[in-house]
Amino acid sequence: MPISSHLRNLRDKVGNDLLQVPSVAAIIRDAGGRVLIQRGSESGRWSLPAGAIDPGEAPAEAIVREVREETGLRVIPVRVAGVFSGEGIFEHVYGNGDRVEYLVILFECRVVGGELGPLDGESLELRYVPVAEMPELVIGYPGHLFEMHNAGEAYFSWDDSWVEKPA
C-alpha cells in the first residue's frame, strides 16, 4: 500500500504541502551478517524496509507490519538503533509533488519466520548485501549503524551546539 488512508485524508486537506511523517525502518541481518535492502517499485532506488506509522499504532507494531508487507518476513524488534529527522536528507518529494519530512525510528530486528518475498508490490527486489557493498540508500543513514559490532547505544541525529559543554 503506497499511501495509507490516513495520509490520503491529510493530503486532501493540505495538498502537496510539507508533512512530517512518523515512520519506521528496519535493519535485518542474515546469519552471515549481511543487511537486507529493497529496491522500491516507485523510485527504483535501494532502501531499508520501512514505512509510515499509522494512527493508533505503536512504532514496534508498525515495523513488524511494514517488514511483513514489504519482505514477507516476520520479525521482532530487538532494539532502537537510532532516531532521525531534519532538513535535507529526510525530506522527499514524490513524483506527484507531495512533500514529506520523515521522522524515522530505526529498529534492529530479528527474523522469526516467514519467507523472503514482497507481498504488497512496493519492492521490485529484495537482497541481503555485505555492509562493505551496501549501495547508496534513499536515506543516508550513518554507515556505522550497519556494522555488527554496533549493538550499543542508539544514534540520534541532531545539532548539539546548543548543549552546554562542561568546562
Closest CA to 71 of 31, 40, 117: 117
Gap between the Cα atoms of 112 and 26, Å rounded:
14
3-state secondary structure (DSSP) of residue 42: coil
Do the Cβ atoms of 28 and 73 come closer than 8 Å?
Answer: yes
Closest CA to 102 of 93, 92, 110: 92
State pLDDT tens for residues 101-116.
Answer: 889 999 999 999 999 9
Do the Cβ atoms of 60 and 107 come closer than 8 Å?
Answer: yes
pLDDT at 1: 44
Handedness of CA 88, 28, 55, 7 (dihedral sign): positive
Return the CATH superfamily for domain 5-141.
Nucleoside Triphosphate Pyrophosphohydrolase (3.90.79.10)
Average pLDDT, the chain: 86
Query: What are the sequence ranges of the domains in the chain?
Result: 5-141
* pLDDT greater than 60 at residue 123: yes
Return the amino acid letter for 145. L
pTM score over 0.75: yes
State pLDDT tens for residues 80-103.
Answer: 998 888 766 678 788 889 888 889
State pLDDT tens for residues 32-77.
Answer: 999 999 998 877 889 999 999 999 999 999 999 999 999 999 999 9
